[in-house]
Amino acid sequence: MDPVAALVAGIGLPAAATLLGLLLRSRDGRVRAAPALPSAAGDVAALGLPPGALGGDVTLVQFSTAYCSRCPGTARALGELARAYAADVRHVEVDLTDDASLADRFDVRQTPTVLVLDSAGRTAGRIAGVPRTHELRTLIDDLTRRNRVHQHA
Amino acid sequence: MSTSTPESRSADRIAARSGIDPRGPRFAAGITAVLLLATVVLGAGGADAAALVLLAGLAVLFAWGAIAGVARHPFGLLFRAAVRPRLGPPTGLEDPRPPTFAQLIGLVVTGTGVVLGVAGVPLAVPVAAAVAFVAAFLNAAFGYCLGCQVYLLLVRARVIRHA
């Protein structure tokens, strides 16, 4: 037995894994500005959603796979969040297992990933992981308020 | 993927519909992580034979979980028998397929370590155990599902296609 190597491995590995977990947690679910993807309107068409699936004010497009432990819970939470708004906010779930090319086109690297679309179908924000409700609400509030101001102007 | 007989497929469908307590797989991942860390410590300390035997045992457990499903895994049964009665009801039930897929990933990683270990590469045993430990630890401590991300990568690589 080499007690020093055993001790280093026994303490170092859990410590490294804890740091990795904290790093992943600190990045998970943050609302980020959408990356510059080519032609946002065309992208939305690529989702293959039926006409009328998009919300009049905001659409939350959730990318999932069948083997994603946190996707069903995220879908429930986003559905409830969308229904709680008086404005036309809708939640749409897209299973990437059905069409892997969508994962390439939207550069989805983890599930769930959520796109926040504005009333024109433009990507206003992007969330990798389980969305932080507070940050997501702030963005939705901002987008729906902008629409109301436009309508009254 | 995880099943071979029509009977177990239908049992999986029933389990998929009703769902499992999400704390079960996390509890199982916790025990697995401790055993994997023990394997790493033994391997790093030079106790090659003991590390190889322990990793082989864990590979058998991963195979059990991948084939029979996490609900029928020994640690899953232990959770239901000894832990769940002491807890409150879960906030929600989860699909058992993602953690079952994670068992398959665990089998591939630990199985590779065992095969290389038997073939005379003793270093492969603690390395494979360390990789599997990180995945099990992240699941147990942070609820992070590394297998789910691997699944997406396989979909993107067109390894997995929808039936």
Calculate how close chain A gets to B32, using CA atoms only, in Å: 13
Residue B86 to chain A, least CA–CA distance (Å): 24
Cross-chain Cβ contact A72/B94 below 8 Å: yes
Letter for the amino acid at B37?
L
Best interface-test mutation with B: which of A19, A23, A67, A71 has the largest number of B CBs within 10 A? Answer: A67
| Residue for token pair 């033994």 | B42
Q: Which two tokens stand for residue A127?
A: 């969330």
Residue range B91-112: mean pLDDT, rounded: 90
The alpha-carbon gap from A114 to the nearest alpha carbon of chain B, in Å, equals: 15
Give CA–CA dist B44/B128, Å, rounded.
12
Rounded CA gap, B1 and B150, in Å? 15
Q: What's residue A48's pLDDT?
A: 75
Collect all residues of chain A within an 8 Å Cβ-Cβ radius of residue B95: 69, 72
Q: What is the structure's pLDDT at B9?
A: 47
Highest mean predicted confidence (pLDDT) among A34-38, B39-43, B155-159:
B39-43
Inter-chain contact B98–A10, Cβ cutoff 8 Å? Answer: no
Q: What is the pLDDT of residues A71-126, one digit of tens each?
A: 988 999 999 999 999 889 999 999 998 888 888 888 898 999 999 998 888 888 99
- Local structure of residue B83 (DSSP, 8 states): I
Record the pTM. Answer: 0.83
Q: Kindly calculate the radius of gyration of chain A based on its CA atoms and give it in whole angstroms.
A: 19
- Rounded mean pLDDT of B41-59? 96
Say if the Cβ atoms of B145 and A2 lie within 8 Å: no
> How far is residue B69 from each of residues A2, A35, B104, B145, measured CA to CA in Å?
38, 39, 10, 16
Q: pLDDT tens digit string along B7-48?
A: 444 444 444 456 788 889 999 999 999 999 999 999 999 999
Whether residue A112 has a cis bond before it, omega within 30° of 0 = yes
Integer Cα distance of A99 and A95 in angstroms: 7
Closest CA to A65 of A97, A26, A22: A97
Cα(first)–Cα(last) distance of chain A, in Å?
78
Contact B140, B33 (CB under 8 A): yes
CA B90 vs. chain centroid, Å, equals 21
Name the residue among A66, A47, A60 with its Cα closest to residue A113: A60
d(CA B6, CA A59): 40
3-state secondary structure of B22: coil
